[in-house]
Chains A and B, each alone.
Chain A
Amino acid sequence: MLRYLLLLVALLLPLNSFAITPEEVMKSSQAAFLYPGKDFKARVVMRLVSKSGSERARELTMLRKNYGETGGDQKYFMYFLRPADVKDMAFMVYKYPGKDDDRWLFVPALNMVRRIAAQDRRSSFVGSDFTYEDVSGRDIADDTHEITKEEKFGGSESYVVKSTPKAGDTDYGYKLSWIDKRTFLPLKEEYYDKRGTLYKVFTAEEIKEIKGFPTVVKRTMKNLQSGHSTETVFSKVDYNIGIEDSLFTERYLKQPPKKWLD
């Protein structure tokens, strides 16, 4: 509805009559990148590479279910497989737009579920270069957006959107995103620190279409300052598999259902 309204407004404007607004680009990108399908499942392998080339691996199964529209509530379930000593650890997130997540963690060694405070969305996700926000998304209304240019990137026509956080509580000053005009997936993101220096780069390395949804199956985040980088590969990706609501409870944190964890 909003989209049509915006379109109508755009049509009435004499200039830029058919242009898409930067907010729309970001909204579409959020839908394509973080909200496709009713639900989603993937086996995630993260490779954390230090400056000296040492590696750490993280492997987990991720399940996600959307509630409502794009930008609405979501629930995540992460079940860790690697490193070996954290096997059976499970992590559950209720994500709400405009307020803090609820997070729970199951610690198998203590057979205990703990709530975890979700204070800083910009903190590292399991020690990787991705932040929690990179994994689960950022509210579009938190930033001001601006299309700085349109250019071909990696063979795809894309919008380059500059997003500047409205509040100063982020670790970066602004972000440039290259959004594919066709799939609306982010192809590349550049993070500039508050001094205006580029320091972190996200790249969508490989995109596959799964059940009609273009999906970034391989991505990297490289921190140019620390020299650290993280590569994330999705396999066994599936959409609309019918994840039930009951999964996202403490009970299944302790004993995750086998059928989702192959």
Chain B
Amino acid sequence: MKKFSLVEFSVNHPKLVVVIAVLITLGFLTQFPKIKTDTNPKNMLPPTSDVRVWNDSVDETFGLYEDTIAVGITSDEGVLNERTLGKVLRITNEVLLIEGVAARDLNGLPTITNVTAEAGTLKVAPLMAELPKSVAEMERLKKDLTENPLFTGRVISADGKTTAIYIPLEEGANGKAIADRIKEVVKKEGGPERYYVAGDPVARDTFGAEMFKLMAIFAPIAGAVMLLIRYLMFKDLFLSVTLMMDAMMSIIWSMGLLIALGFPVHIMTSMAPVFLMAIATDSMHIFNEFYFRYREKKDKKAAIIETMRAVGRPVRYTALATAVGFAVLMFMDIVPVKVFGAVVAFGTVALRLLSFSFIPAMFTFVKEEKLKKVASGEDASTGMASGFLRGLASAGAHSPKATAFICIVIFALSVFGVSRIVVNNNMVEWFKAGSSVRSADAALNAALGGTSLGYIVAAADEEEYIKDPEAMRQIEGLQRRLEKLPVVGKTSSVVDYVKRINRVLHDDDPKYDTVPSSKEEIGQYLFLFSMSAKPSDLDNVVDYPFQKANIWVQLKTWDAEAMRAVMKAVDEYKLENPGKLEFKPAGIAYFNLIWNDEVLWDMLKGFIIALVVIFVILSFNFGSAKWAAIGYIPLLFTILIIYGVVGFMGKDFDMPIAVLSCLSLGMAVDFSIHFISRLRQRLSEEGPAGTPSNESLTDALLWTAARPGKGIMRNAVLFASAFSVMLFAPLTPYITVGAFIVSMMLLSAVLTIICLPALIVLFRSRLFGGN
């Protein structure tokens, strides 16, 4: 077979193979300086996706900015005093000078448009262009702020203790540089006021920085942990390092290829190195077997070649299953998920190639006496670990019914847990509780109308209709309806401006805080407003031909489900109050919802494809669908238990978990492949063909649990230890991934060793009957 010749070639020309591998690695390494990152969640969907095209058109129609940074300023004694307002004014003036800030549309106390009437004179002007100079002026400002519903929840909190500055960014501006500059500006002003810098660009850039930290610090730590554990297992530094190099090389190859092809590193792909490192642990089986073989043969070269012959098939199939499990992702719609799938699939193939060339070549460099020393510890019958595994397997093999019963109970519990799973995604919660992004967001959400912004675009089929009192009332009714939802903090629309002007023109009489009764009146009010206001004030809420209006809906949470609640309320309102206006959701909150749904749907699709494909691979490998089905059970069971726990814990079934469900299949199936392949190999070596006797089957099962089982356990422990490092990561998706993989690996290893023997004994006649 071809692979064997590769192994033999590598054993015969070890130096050449190593040099070639190192050269290829160096080649890919040269690509690394070109690395680019992309932390914008928007890019999860291609720019041509419906939701992005629609959102872009809404942004354009209403002159909205893609990115806005919000600065919250909080003072326990209230912000409406000379000292704090002075700070607000100075901060605003300095921020206006920052390159990339869309100065004309910055909104805060000093710049937001205020409509008032004073001694019969109508005034449309910035609220606080300069500091109030007298007590009377300060009182006036307080009155303006409390009376104008457009301000409360936006630039001032209801309790007067928090004010906010909204800083829109020009297209293509460097959000991180601007946020850093703003942080410097507020730092200079100092306490006792507290400052919060929040907003999408800040979150995104913080995420990007943490992501790099993860790649640059956590991946190497995971590697070091694995190295240490390997060393403890094999007591040989050279071989442990060899195994590490195998992983490192495949990481450098695949990441190098990704960068060379010009793809940016996305949150998904940033996890690829850790995944590859974990997948590389599969080569553990080669080592495991090599030590056993070497003890038996005492000839290095022969042991290598025999080892590869024994484990070659399962190792190839596990690699195939893993690669396919990831390659399935390439059929998804989410671009970074596709890229991630391709990178890991490529890395897996590279790993296997190295397993059959680089690793055997490196084996030849190990001194014989050293091998002897280490291999003496490897005895399936006496080793402590082997004894423990044998014990586990015998529990399964000797009491198959009891084992099956316990499994069924756990199964039922898990199903119940799964039924309690809540599907949701909250991107702010990707940051740890207590992180500056989370606390800034929480502080602003508590004080103001909400940081997550959704839009409801009201559209008529004729121009000028928005100015019709009927349209105004329909919009106003919808606003009041939406404000009843607990997730909605504040809504604003063109109606709020019209009502405000109506009241102000009627000597500030609260009776006129209503929609005027004629279209002319509304048209004239809006014109009057536009005579002095910032053009963006109106542009943000109504389109040029007055055919569409934009209702701003500030949400108090980044939960994707919040926007779903808003959309449901809109539909209900529309049903109860039919009018000429059609409503359509937009904005970042809407995008998050769509993206969330698409990822989940995509992942479900991927999960099903992976299930089918892996089943096919298993059937092909085992030459039997029945064996494939048996091999499948520990795998499915593991995933079910994990989701059951997720359900019981009340953790949201979010994007990272959805992605994992898909990936885990390709990795967890490894153990079944190893176990069943080696068991059947053993049976065919030891006894005659056909159904084995109960006794010989139990013997073979116990041997499998003790010898390849040790490889499985070592693999699982290594895998789990590598990923456990991620539990300390600064971002929750990585923690989720770490926890998920650790539990999945340990669970599936244990389940493989306990349940498979039980199942094989229970279904003995069926499994072997066909042969």
Contacts and interface: CB of A to CB of B under 8 A. Distances in A.
Interface of A: 48, 50-52, 54-56, 80, 83-86, 89, 91, 105, 107-110, 112, 114-117, 119-120, 123-129, 169, 171, 193-195, 197, 223, 225-226, 228
Contacts of B103: 171, 193-194
Nearest to B467: A85
A225 B520 CA distance: 33
Contacts of B575: none
B383 interface: no
A134 B154 CA distance: 32
B104 interface: yes
B544 A56 contact: yes
B170 A225 contact: yes
B104 A171 contact: yes
B64 to A, nearest CB: 11
Given A50-B539, A112-B505, A83 B544 contact: no
A125 B531 CA distance: 6
Contacts of B118: 117
**Chain A binding site: helix, strand, loop or mixed by DSSP?**
loop
Contacts of A107: 505, 524-525, 528
30 contacts: A51-B60, A54-B543, A54-B544, A83-B527, A85-B464, A86-B524, A89-B524, A89-B528, A91-B531, A107-B505, A107-B528, A108-B524, A109-B523, A109-B524, A116-B122, A116-B123, A120-B125, A120-B126, A120-B129, A123-B533, A125-B531, A127-B530, A127-B531, A128-B535, A171-B104, A193-B103, A195-B97, A226-B63, A226-B104, A226-B535
A85 B102 contact: no
B582 interface: no
Nearest to B530: A127
B61 interface: yes
A109 B518 contact: yes
Given A52-B60, A108-B520, A126 B99 contact: no
B578 interface: no
A89 B527 CA distance: 9
Contacts of A55: 544
A105 B122 contact: yes
Contacts of B464: 85
A252 B73 CA distance: 49
A124 B534 contact: yes
Nearest to A80: B527
Given A124-B532, A127-B538, A195-B97, A225 B104 contact: yes
Contacts of A110: 505, 521, 524
Contacts of A171: 103-104
Given A51-B63, A116-B123, A195-B97, 13 more contacts: A52-B60, A80-B527, A86-B523, A86-B527, A89-B527, A108-B524, A114-B120, A114-B505, A115-B120, A117-B125, A119-B125, A129-B535, A193-B103
Interface of B: 60-61, 63, 96-97, 99, 102-104, 118, 120-126, 129, 170, 464, 467, 505, 516, 518-525, 527-528, 530-536, 538-539, 543-545
Contacts of A195: 97, 99
A229 to B, nearest CB: 12
A127 B530 CA distance: 5
A150 B363 CA distance: 82
B630 to A, nearest CB: 62
B17 to A, nearest CB: 59
3 shortest A-B CB distances, which residue pairs?
Answer: A85-B523, A54-B544, A117-B123
A183 B726 CA distance: 74
Task: From B126, B524, B545, name the one whose CB has the most chain A CB atoms within 10 angstroms.
Answer: B524
Task: From A85, A115, A116, A194, name the one whose CB has the most chain B CB atoms within 10 angstroms.
Answer: A85
A51 to B, nearest CB: 7
Contacts of B170: 225
B519 A85 contact: yes
A225 B168 CA distance: 12
B120 A50 contact: no
A206 to B, nearest CB: 25
B466 to A, nearest CB: 11
Contacts of A223: 104
Contacts of B61: 52, 54
B45 to A, nearest CB: 22
Nearest to B57: A52
Nearest to A51: B60
A23 to B, nearest CB: 29
A115 B122 contact: yes
Nearest to B506: A110
A109 B543 contact: no
B543 A225 contact: no
A86 B527 CA distance: 7
Contacts of B467: 85
Given A116-B532, A120-B126, A109 B521 contact: yes
A242 B60 CA distance: 47
Given A124-B535, A226-B63, A119 B123 contact: yes
A50 B63 CA distance: 8
Contacts of A126: 527, 530-531
A54 B63 CA distance: 11
A112 B124 CA distance: 17
